[in-house]
Chain A
Amino acid sequence: MSAVPLVLESVRLRLGERVLVDRLDVEVAPGECVTLMGPSGCGKSTLLAYVAGSLDPAFDASGRILIGGEDVTPLPPERRRIGIQFQDDLLFPHLTVGGNLAFALAQRVSGRRERRARVDAALAEADLAGFADRDPSTLSGGQRARVALMRALVSEPRALLLDEPFGRLDAQLRDEVRRFVFDHAGERAIAMLLVTHDEADARAAGGRVLRFRDNGRVEG
């Protein structure tokens, strides 16, 4: 897996007359986590949707998204190889814990045994060895959050978008999950964009902080 930067190049987002983001240029280095902060409804999550490729067509958007120099803007979400984490862990309830990871695992990892070994290794990395056959609903909040991150990581994303991923966790758990996310994604040198309300998240991310102002200005 090669470490690559994520670049947003003069990104502009509008909803009707309202400018959400005006000319945003950011380069996120491999392993870095850039935090986006601002009040509710300012367009932070919309910006992540644009990067992921799942922006609602009601928005007017322009600007390029580059990953390792490749322009992925014209690509549909499934070909961008950009992982996402939402506030809810969104583990699929119809699959086991291992099934959730197997679904994410690249197709080229072939053979049942090989796939199972990769899933087990990912679970061991998350201190969840032996959890493969468990129903996700039997896991604690912290365990679910770790599985959700491992699911994104086993698909070998080239960048990771974190959309308030710690918002639903209680204070104590939040610290633990934060460390888990930044350690494991950082270890793989994945470029990350984090959207949050919580200054502590930004501190833990350790990267630059961009703040959304009125009229779509974003300041570092």
Chain B
Amino acid sequence: MFAVGAFALPIAAGVAGTLAPAFGFLPAIGGHALTLDPWRELVRWPGFVSSVTLTIATGVAATLLSLIVALAFAAWACARPWGARASAWIAPVLATPHSAFAIGLAFVIAPSGWIVRAVSPWLTGFDVPPDVATVGHPSGAALVLALMMKEVPYLVLMIAGASAQVPVRESLAIARSLGYRAADAWFATVLPRIWRQIRLPVCAVLAFSLSVVDVALILGPSHPPTLAVQAIRWFADPDVRSWFPAAAAATLQLAIVVAAIALLLGVERVAARLGLARIEHGRRDGAGGTVAAAGATFLALLVALAGASIAGMALWSFASQWRYPDAWPSGLSTEGWMRRLDGLASPFATTLAVGAVAVAVSLALVLACLEFEQRRAKRGPPPGLALLYVPLLVPQVAFLFGAQVLLVRTGWDGALVAVVWAHVIFVLPYLFLSLADPWRALDPRYARAAASLGAGPWRVFWRVKLPILAKPVAIACAVAFAVSVGQYLPTLFAGNGRVPTLTTEAVTLSSGADRRVIGAYAVLQALLPLAAYLAAASLPERHRPRRRGSRS
């Protein structure tokens, strides 16, 4: 399995390259002996305890709240015919990079931001922005909110995908005929059966929330920041001795993620027992309905915030003047865009090129995997497939540093090729995850019919499977492209800071540049994947997946 090796090996090497300096071993900068000094230094850092607490609290809160809201929304939507169509609505949210939302949300909730402006000074009396820290609040609440804006839609989509494998309508009809309200019926008869399929996405969300860097840089507290951000600060320190505590912090980050996933699996067992006991108790109190309504409300709020975040940035990019406390810019013009066009062109082109190449490479590998799987004599997915999920579960900081050391060694750091390769590591799993289901669901009789007409396996692949599945392939590519556009840390590390993309530029600028400039970057960052998604979605549907358990 070349495709699996293409990223599993570098990740293993990267983690090893991070572990070694965490124990003092990095000959290039004079670390020759194994020692616990990096750990002593990490623990002696005054922000250590608060940073670890903050990391765990924000990561766990973002994951749990996202999961609860997503499940509640799914339970709410199951009895509403248009609830099913909501997934079409949230797909654009998924295409938008985390950092674009974070940048936009920073403006919406800032003391001088849109919400305060909308009610000032006529309601609040704030002639000057209030002196409170909403962005960067020590609790990390803003960070949690921004993570939820992306993670809830992601989980909703995963739940919808998993539900397609279960006869939802009939199960709900049975449970309702037994006296359960729709939301209670969903929690009792659908959730337990789809949990196995959404467990992995939940773990990915947990790993990501615990170790996210770009969103935490933009919205998280800075004194001290989360552990991942502190690791990056140390890595970026001109004094290379700081690499030792940085590696220790990255290693601790990995340990926290592993422990959190183990804890989640433990909690899952207890919750399953309690859930089954409740189901068998026959309680029909409608509690699920209350949770479902609350979840749907919360999701609506998140979508509104997401919309406002991007709209705010779009307005800023066209604003000639937008003073506090005006709720609207005093003038709109394209002048700013014209002036910044030159500066934007290069990161835009880099983003586009890296994304396109990373998607093309990943698509070739994924199609090869899926074809191989179908042509193999043995049925079922080939072994080693689970490794696909590794990049989604291992925190980026934990292996990117080690990978960078390797790249510097080989002289590849800062090359466009290195950036593309780093993107492929993250693009490939998402491409595989979105394409595997439709590919496997294609009725095998098409291929058999073509073969009986004398077409060989390659002709069947090019002339039958690919054209029929054109739309799912395009959608998977759009999803993968969005993943590439959003990459911050891999771009920074593999590019050694010398390959600026829209995302790296936007995150760098977010810490204090003119909002009109930030707005332009954030808007482009959001538009590029959205355009790809809309182009893919506009393709005609040639293939209706077989639906199990549905009948007239």
Contact = CB atoms under 8 A, between A and B. Distances in A.
A155 B175 CA distance: 10
List the 6 shortest-distance A-B pairs measured between CB atoms, nearest first. A102-B280, A77-B176, A94-B192, A78-B176, A155-B178, A84-B177
Contact of A84 (B173, B188, B189): B173
B282 A77 contact: no
B167 interface: yes
B81 to A, nearest CB: 6
B283 A77 contact: no
Given A90-B171, A107-B282, A99 B179 contact: no
A104 interface: yes
A78 B280 contact: no
Interface in A58-93: 58, 76-84, 86-88, 90, 92-93
A95 B279 contact: yes
Interface of B is mostly: helix
8 contacts: A52-B173, A53-B176, A78-B178, A83-B178, A94-B192, A99-B279, A104-B282, A152-B177
B193 A109 contact: no
Interface string B61-86: 00000000000000000000100000
A66 to B, nearest CB: 17
A167 B495 CA distance: 63
Given A41-B552, A81-B179, A102-B280, 15 more contacts: A40-B552, A45-B552, A52-B177, A57-B81, A58-B81, A78-B177, A78-B284, A86-B170, A86-B174, A87-B551, A90-B171, A94-B192, A104-B282, A107-B179, A115-B281
Nearest to B189: A92
Contacts of B179: 78-79, 81, 106-107, 155
Interface string B136-154: 0000000000000000000
Interface residues of A, number: 40
B549 A88 contact: yes
Given A57-B81, A90-B171, A107-B284, A78 B276 contact: no
A105 interface: yes
B279 A103 contact: yes
A38 to B, nearest CB: 13
Interface of B: 81, 167, 170-182, 185, 188-189, 192-193, 276, 279-285, 549, 551-552
B276 A99 contact: yes
Contacts of A214: none
A5 to B, nearest CB: 19
Contacts of A81: 179
B181 A78 contact: yes
Main SS of chain A's interface residues?
Answer: loop
Given A86-B170, A90-B167, A92-B171, A106 B282 contact: yes
Nearest to A99: B280
Contact of B180 (A40, A78, A84): A78
Contact of B282 (A79, A92, A98, A103): A103
Contacts of B177: 52, 77-78, 80, 82-84, 152, 155, 157
B463 to A, nearest CB: 35
Given A90-B167, A95-B276, A84 B174 contact: yes
A94 B193 contact: yes
A93 to B, nearest CB: 7
Given A57-B81, A95-B279, A115-B282, A103 B178 contact: yes
Contacts of A45: 552
B290 to A, nearest CB: 15
Contacts of B182: 76, 78
B280 A103 contact: yes
A90 B174 contact: yes
A80 B181 CA distance: 11
A82 to B, nearest CB: 6
B282 A102 contact: yes
Contacts of A187: none
A17 interface: no
A99 B40 CA distance: 54
A82 B182 CA distance: 15
A58 B552 CA distance: 13
Contacts of B185: 78
Contacts of B188: 103
A170 interface: no
A90 B549 CA distance: 10
B170 A109 contact: no
Interface in A171-188: none
B272 to A, nearest CB: 9
Given A99-B280, A106-B282, A115-B280, A56 B176 contact: no
Nearest to A102: B280
A29 to B, nearest CB: 21
A54 interface: yes
A89 to B, nearest CB: 10
Nearest to A116: B280
A109 B281 CA distance: 9
Contacts of A53: 176
Contacts of B551: 87
Most buried by B among A56, A57, A103, A104: A103
Nearest to A40: B552
A125 to B, nearest CB: 18
A104 B178 contact: yes
Nearest to A155: B178
A16 to B, nearest CB: 16
B293 to A, nearest CB: 15
B277 to A, nearest CB: 9
Contacts of A83: 177-178
A78 B174 CA distance: 9
A54 B395 CA distance: 46
B81 A56 contact: yes
Contacts of A90: 167, 170-171, 174
B81 A93 contact: no
Interface string A90-124: 10111100110011111101000001000000000
B176 A76 contact: yes
Contacts of A102: 279-282
A88 B181 contact: no
B184 to A, nearest CB: 8
A80 B179 CA distance: 8
Contacts of A41: 552
Q: Identify which of B189, B192, B282 gathers the most chain A CB atoms within 10 Å of its CB.
A: B282
Nearest to B80: A57
Contacts of A103: 175, 178, 188, 279-280, 282
B67 to A, nearest CB: 19
A138 B171 CA distance: 20
Contact of A93 (B173, B193, B279): B193
B167 to A, nearest CB: 7
Contacts of A79: 179
Nearest to B272: A94
Q: Which of B170, B174, B176, B192 has the most chain A CB within a 10 Å cutoff?
A: B174
A45 B549 CA distance: 15
